[in-house]
Each structure stands twice: as structure tokens, then as C-alpha cells.
Amino acid sequence: MNFKELLGAFSQGKSTAKSHMKNLIEMAAVDGNFDDSEYDLLKSIAKRNGISESQLKDIRKNPNHIIFEIPTDAKEKFYQLYDLVHMMSIDKTIHPEEMKLLHIFAIKFGYNRDRVKELVDTVESNIAHGQKHVETMKRVALLIA
């Protein structure tokens, strides 16, 4: 991979990460209550994705500047879904609007519409039991194949 291709891959990864932050912000806000636990999780995920707190604040203030991007990598798609489920369930209350939004994201990511509920329930259960992305992905491999 030459320098130009490497730079392009980095650039795409950064824009996908910004899209993911926008999606997480939407998930946190859709129930009308963006609380501290959701913001702390958002900052943690942003840091993991190379997004600074000032960039995160800018995304939150100007969400229309961020284009929705679907990750092309299956692993990244699952990690983003996992993060969205985590954001939905971090406050221990799942609002119907959060569940609707999560289903929309899962279908846009290409997951089987008929298996989304089972997938989400499994991911949510794994999060509740302290399982991270990798362990959860192994557990749901048959659901996402």
C-alpha cells in the first residue's frame, strides 16, 4: 500500500468514526434524556476511535455536517452496532424510540431484518455480563453470518 492509499484509508476511517459518533449522539438523545453516563460512554468510544473531545463537541453541535457512512469492514460494522446497543442500554432504561433507531441502524448495516431482535438481545445480554466487543462478536457469529 502506497502513501496515498494509506492516507485515503486513514481519512475514510476518520470520517466513518465521525459518522459513528453522530449515530451514538442520536441514540443517546432520541429518548429526550442525554445523561452523564451516556456522555461518559460517548467520550470513551470517541477516544478509542481517535476523536478528540473538541471534535465530539463539534459533531454534537453540527450533526448535519457529518454524512452517514456504513463501515465496509464486517468487524467494524459489528463494533459500531455493539457500541449503539451499549449506548441504548447504559442508563438501564430502554426507550421504544431507542429500540426503533437501533433496528434502523442494524438494517442499514446489512444485518438480517428477521434476526435483528435476537442479535440486539444477545449483544445487550453480553454487555450486561461485562463482555467486550471481541467476546460478544464470537458469541453472535451465527446471527451475523
Express each pLDDT in 96-143 by its tens digit. Answer: 999 999 999 999 999 999 999 999 999 999 999 999 999 999 988 877
Contact between 31 and 97 (Cβ < 8 Å): yes
pLDDT at 5 over 90: no
Q: Among 106, 143, 123, which residue's Cα sits nearest to residue 23?
A: 106
Q: Cα separation of 35 and 91, whole Å?
A: 8
Residue 13: predicted pLDDT: 52
> What is each CA distance from 108 to 19, 23, 61, in whole angstroms?
13, 12, 24
> Which CATH topology does 3-144 take?
TerB-like (1.10.3680)
Per-domain residue ranges of the chain: 3-144
Using a pLDDT cut of 70, give the percent of the chain over it.
91
Instruction: Read off the pTM.
Output: 0.88
